Amino acid sequence: MTQNLQIHLASRPSGEPGAANFRLVEATVPELGEGQVLVRHHFLSLDPYMRGRMNDAKSYAQPQPLDQVMGGGTVGEVVASNHPGFAAGDKVVGMGGWQQYSVVDARQPGVLRKVDTTQVPLSAYLGAVGMPGVTAWYGLVKIIGPKAGQTVVVSAASGAVGSAVGQLAKARGARAVGIAGGADKCAYVVDELGFDACIDYKSHRDLKSLSQALKEACPNGIDGHFENVGGVILDAVMLRSNAFCRVAMCGMISGYNGEPIPMAAPQLILVNRMTVEGFIVSEHMEVWPQALAELGQGVATGKLKYRETIAQGLESAPEAFIGLLKGRNFGKQLVKLI
Amino acid sequence: MTQNLQIHLASRPSGEPGAANFRLVEATVPELGEGQVLVRHHFLSLDPYMRGRMNDAKSYAQPQPLDQVMGGGTVGEVVASNHPGFAAGDKVVGMGGWQQYSVVDARQPGVLRKVDTTQVPLSAYLGAVGMPGVTAWYGLVKIIGPKAGQTVVVSAASGAVGSAVGQLAKARGARAVGIAGGADKCAYVVDELGFDACIDYKSHRDLKSLSQALKEACPNGIDGHFENVGGVILDAVMLRSNAFCRVAMCGMISGYNGEPIPMAAPQLILVNRMTVEGFIVSEHMEVWPQALAELGQGVATGKLKYRETIAQGLESAPEAFIGLLKGRNFGKQLVKLI
């Protein structure tokens, strides 16, 4: 029987998660039933949203159950199949979770999707051509909808989502301004990704300083903002918003461990006639084909750039995830499983 | 020469405005120039937005200039006219300001509008069939867009805007829940205006208590919210929001005197996939004809109810305005000038 290492949620964190919240479990791969497909995972995706699921709180998703495999996106290769739509050797993307193998009932529509790796690397289907890319696309195109010449700001700009937001904004003729943590990330955002400017929030910790930096980076004000972080970053952006500024609220990682992150001046929503809209990309499946077409084309032609931080081996996943929440990754955080 | 009493802004308030911020000025009515119309004001409208204009701060409108007539909506009667579109005796609505008479250049489109008082009382054109009514209509219809069976909450529910919001929501088959200050106002909102429930915020001062009251009044959660107040009221509503809740941000009177009114948990915008949209009705002139048609029909047929608090004489305007900001009015606050 094939061994299948798994990582389970052992306990719920209060505040920052630690290694003790996770448990490495040695399981085995079961026999395949009717319609089932066995997938060997090549890469596991680590994403900030997973922190929210570790809580036992009301949210848009069911909490991650205790003592079960941590959920998460995976790409890999079909090893065996009892479903006519899949054959050994097929490259697939799915939600296999934090484990080496998954058994998928391929009769359920959408749970497993074959991907073409001739022009797009397999790992990119977890990033720029996957959920993070579509997240960027939806927030930018459907909520912000920038016009040429407008200014779009994005926080966590070097990350899997933020890096795509700015590049998609540039492709639409907008000015793209990133916010990221550290000089290296900011240099990458401007020099490699082609943003017009990037602000290092580690050099601008308070509202006044960050607001001043935004004023310099956005001389014509801010027309659209893609929020991944929240807290003082959102407050500073609101101070520089133009009339009718649209904010796509995608994540608020600054509060994921339970820190209070009040919005200092919500009256600016009124004064600036802003629209602030929260969204979850999995609720907008209708846009995925269009978004993936643009994103895949971008990666295939080299126009849409991305960066990956790759941890090696399933055992490294908890530490890599903890680092992700602290911004230690650079670009898309993956775990390589083979 | 006809005397024209005026009230000027004498100084800018810090915090709550006081009588000393205003000055009563005895002026006279000038000769009419070409295309001009002389209007004798019957009623002056007092509205919360005026507080914002008393500050010398960046906002959507120019600040009220010092030592000039306070701006404001008026209804009255044409006394003399040098414009073929207006004749003595015409009833008109305009922005005549805090004074007994105004001279209007009627060649500018939209500055003066003739109204029909056979079925709608003149004063209603400053309330239910005027700017407050259209404000209610725009936020409810264009931002909240309630479906039958959904629940809509509105703060300042007995006021000129809030009372219309709830009645328009009921007319669309929604459950309407008001928030108002005091048992009398709440009884009026339910018994006279026909809301399904009304919460007295004076009995629920803190977030926990108000949130619990909302839970009881909104057993199926909140699908739309019309915000006139802000602060703890908005925080409590957000705790009870359903997925895809739409918030029309119309006013935040709780912060008009400079009090900090942080939004406690903006992450709920994400968790509940809310849309929070600030708006100013004067930027949406395209909806006025449709909105005024429904509102006028409602008042003419007695289906759309409203209440007025009427102060007598121009001299009473400052005190009435100060009271408005404290919620001392009951329904639309007017000043009767004749």
pLDDT digits (tens, 9 = 90+) for B77-97: 999 999 999 999 999 999 999
b/e map A100-136, b = 16+ CB within 10 Å: bbbbbebeeeeebeebeeeebebbbbbbbbbbbbbbb
The count of CB pairs under 8 A between chains A and B is 97
Q: How far apart are CA B317 and CA B300, in angstroms?
A: 28
B144 touches chain A (CB under 8 A): no
Nearest 5°: the CA angle A57, A59, A63 is: 60
How many residues are present in chain B?
338
Distance, CA of A250 to CA of A256 (rounded, Å): 13
Report the sign of the C-alpha dihedral through residues A60, A230, A307, A144, in that order: positive
Task: Kindly list the residues from chain A whose CB atom is less than 8 angstroms away from the CB atom of residue B254.
Answer: none
Residue range B249-265, pLDDT digits in tens = 999 988 888 889 999 99
Mean pLDDT value across residues B294-319? 98
> pLDDT under 50 in chain A at which residues?
none
In this complex, which of B251, B266, B283 lies closest to A263 when CB atoms are compared?
A: B266
DSSP B21: G
Q: Which residue of B has its CA nearest to A264?
A: B262
Q: Which residues is A94 bridged to in the sheet?
A: A74, A112
| pLDDT value of residue A185 | 97
Lowest mean pLDDT among A253-267, B220-234, B235-249, B283-297: A253-267
Helices (H), B69-188: 131-137, 160-171, 183-187
Chain A residues touching B261 at Cβ < 8 A = 265-267
CA distances in angstroms from B267 to A220, A231, A246, A260, B191, listed in the order given: 28, 10, 16, 10, 36
Provide the shortest C-alpha distance from residue B92 to chain A (in Å): 30
CA distance A248 to A255: 17
> pLDDT tens-digit profile of A287-304?
999 999 999 999 999 999
Q: Does B61 touch chain A (CB under 8 A)?
A: no
Option in A60, A230, A270 nearest B266 (CB): A230
Give yes or no for B63 touching A (CB within 8 A).
Answer: no
Query: What's residue A255's pLDDT?
Result: 87
CB-CB contact of B273 with B139 (8 Å): no
Q: Provide CATH code, domain B131-282.
A: 3.40.50.720
* Architecture of the CATH domain B3-127+307-336: Alpha-Beta Complex (3.90)
Chain B residues in contact with A252 (beta carbon < 8 A): 266-267, 270
pLDDT tens digits, one per residue of A312-327: 999 999 999 999 999 9
Chain A residues inside the 8 Å CB shell of B251: 270
- The CA distance from B71 to B100, in Å, is 12
DSSP 8-state assignment for residue A69: B
Six-digit token string for A285: 């499946």
Tell me what pLDDT residue A338 has: 95
CB–CB contact A262 B267 (8 Å): no
Assign B174 to helix, strand or coil.
coil
Domain ranges of chain A: 3-127+307-336, 131-282
Q: How far lies B98's CA from each of B10, B23, B89, B317, in Å?
A: 13, 11, 21, 8
Asked whether residue B29 carries a pLDDT value surpassing 80, the answer given is: yes
Can you give the pLDDT at residue A1? 79
- pLDDT tens-place string over residues B107-147: 998 899 999 999 999 999 999 999 999 999 999 999 999 99
Residue A34's Cβ-count burial label (10 Å; 0-12, 13-18, 19+) is exposed
Provide the pLDDT confidence category of residue B335 given band limits of 50, 70 and 90. Answer: very high
In contact, B33 and B106? CB cutoff 8 Å: no
Confidence bin at B213 (pLDDT 50/70/90): very high
Query: What stretches of chain B show up as alpha helix (H) in DSSP?
Result: 49-53, 131-137, 160-171, 183-187, 207-217, 232-239, 267-271, 288-300, 317-325
Is the Cβ–Cβ distance between B338 and B42 less than 8 Å? yes
Cβ count near B111 (within 10 Å): 15
Shortest Cα–Cα distance, B58 to chain A (Å): 9
A290 touches chain B (CB under 8 A): no
